């Protein structure tokens, strides 16, 4: 594949940025990948394992001359980073982010950016429970969705170019309204994560079942919950704080349904449970 951006700056060098760098380099999509992360330890690791072509000591230095700037830090850190890089951006550059929440990122980042750059927020629907500079791998985005949520008058050629990059990772891409993105993700990702955190927390609090028993007899359902609940605490704290309204909406509906199921179990209402589980099975069969 041919080079899409001569120079790419990655701000944050964790799972997502690391995977982007490996994918870009594997497919020859970038002339040079420059990386910056706040922690000196992360920068040293990135340097040691050759995660990017060049590790630099400041965000300002990273974005100088970059054609594409990727903000790959926790959602709560986006505003601070945008402010830091804004005066150093190359005119005509594209700035994107990979944050799991879109409206809050747009509100946090947009006002800091100069008018002569293209701001195209994005979100790869791909991840693992691992984080940090050693966790990335080139195939992370293959056959996954990468949603772009540009608002207003954004240059069509700049969007098409970013879409080419994302397709170069093997991902599929679609455009979505930021508010709709946040609601969809509250349903498909954010609330399920909260439920997993809760279930693992509940298991931890039941003193009559020991931790050893929970680990030893962990069946598939609980095992999946623990994998999800092992995700990065900073990232997920920020997701819930920044997608508050959509998550509270979905969580409210979840709680209502849970009460109905709780009542059906208490009342021995087998038909209700059977009907409910038949409908949910149909949804699962639609996904596969």
Nearer to ligand NAD, 72 or 159 (CB): 72
Please state the closest distance from residue 1 (CB atom) to ligand NAD, in A. Answer: 23
CA atoms of 155 and 50, how far apart (whole Å):
34
Near ligand NAD in 181-210, by CB under 6 A: none
Using the rule CB under 6 A, is 178 a contact of ligand NAD? no
Residues 235-254 contacting ligand NAD, CB under 6 A: 235, 239
Q: Select the residue interacting with ligand NAD from 52, 55, 68, 73 (CB under 6 A).
A: 73
> What contacts 168, CB < 8 A, 6 or more positions away?
1, 4, 23, 24, 27, 29
Interface with ligand NAD includes 30 (CB under 6 A)?
no
72 binds ligand NAD, rule: CB under 6 A: yes
- Minimal distance in Å, beta carbon 78 to ligand NAD? 7
Pairing of strands 145-148, 122-124: antiparallel
Among 10, 15, 34, 166, binds ligand NAD (CB under 6 A): 15
How many residues interact with ligand NAD (rule CB under 6 A)?
Answer: 30
Q: Are 129 and 228 in contact (CB under 8 A)?
A: yes
In whole angstroms, the minimum distance from the beta carbon of 33 to ligand NAD comes to 14
Sole binder of ligand NAD in the list 30, 62, 66, 75 (CB under 6 A): 75
Cα atoms in the 13 Å half-sphere on the side-chain side of 270:
0
Q: Does 74 bind ligand NAD (CB under 6 A)?
A: yes
Rule CB under 6 A: which of 81-110 touch ligand NAD? 81, 98-100
Q: Is 12 in the site for ligand NAD (CB under 6 A)?
A: yes
The binder of ligand NAD chosen from 121, 127, 168, 178 (CB under 6 A):
127
93 vs 228 by CB, closer to ligand NAD: 228
Task: Indicate which single residue of 21, 45, 96, 131 sits in contact with ligand NAD (rule: CB under 6 A).
Answer: 131
Q: Is 176 left (phi over 0), alpha (psi -120 to 50) or beta?
A: beta
Select from 22-30, 31-39, 212-220, 263-271 the region that touches ligand NAD (CB under 6 A).
Answer: 31-39
Q: Least distance (Å) from ligand NAD to the CB of residue 15? A: 4
Binding site for ligand NAD (CB under 6 A): 11-17, 37-39, 42, 72-75, 77, 80-81, 98-100, 123-124, 127, 131-132, 135, 232, 235, 239
């Amino acid at each position: 594949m041919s080079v899409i951006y001569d120079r790419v700056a990655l701000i944050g060098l964790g799972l997502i940025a690391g995977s982007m760098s490996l994918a870009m380099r594997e497919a020859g999509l970038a002339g040079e990948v420059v990386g910056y992360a706040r922690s000196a330890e992360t920068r040293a690791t990135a340097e040691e394992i050759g995660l990017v072509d060049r590790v630099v000591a400041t965000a300002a230095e990273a974005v100088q001359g970059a054609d594409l700037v990727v903000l790959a830090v926790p959602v709560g850190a986006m505003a601070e980073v945008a402010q830091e890089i804004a005066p150093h951006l190359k005119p005509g550059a594209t700035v994107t982010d990979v944050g799991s929440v879109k409206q809050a990122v747009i509100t946090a980042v947009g006002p800091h950016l100069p008018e002569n750059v293209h701001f195209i927020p994005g979100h790869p629907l791909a991840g693992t429970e691992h984080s940090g500079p050693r966790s990335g791998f080139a195939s992370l985005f293959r056959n996954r969705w990468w949603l772009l949520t540009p608002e207003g008058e954004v240059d069509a050629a700049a969007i098409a170019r970013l879409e080419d990059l994302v397709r170069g990772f093997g991902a599929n891409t679609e455009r979505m309204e930021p508010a709709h993105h946040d609601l969809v993700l509250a349903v498909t990702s954010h609330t399920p994560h909260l439920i997993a955190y809760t279930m693992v927390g509940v298991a931890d609090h039941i003193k009559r079942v020991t931790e050893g028993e929970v680990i030893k007899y962990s069946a598939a359902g609980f095992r999946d919950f623990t994998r999800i609940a092992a995700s990065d605490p900073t990232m997920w704290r920020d997701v819930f704080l920044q997608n508050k309204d959509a998550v509270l909406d979905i969580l409210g509906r979840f709680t209502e349904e849970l009460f109905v199921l709780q009542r059906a179990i208490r009342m021995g209402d087998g038909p209700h449970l059977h009907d409910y589980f038949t409908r949910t099975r149909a949804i699962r069969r639609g996904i596969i």
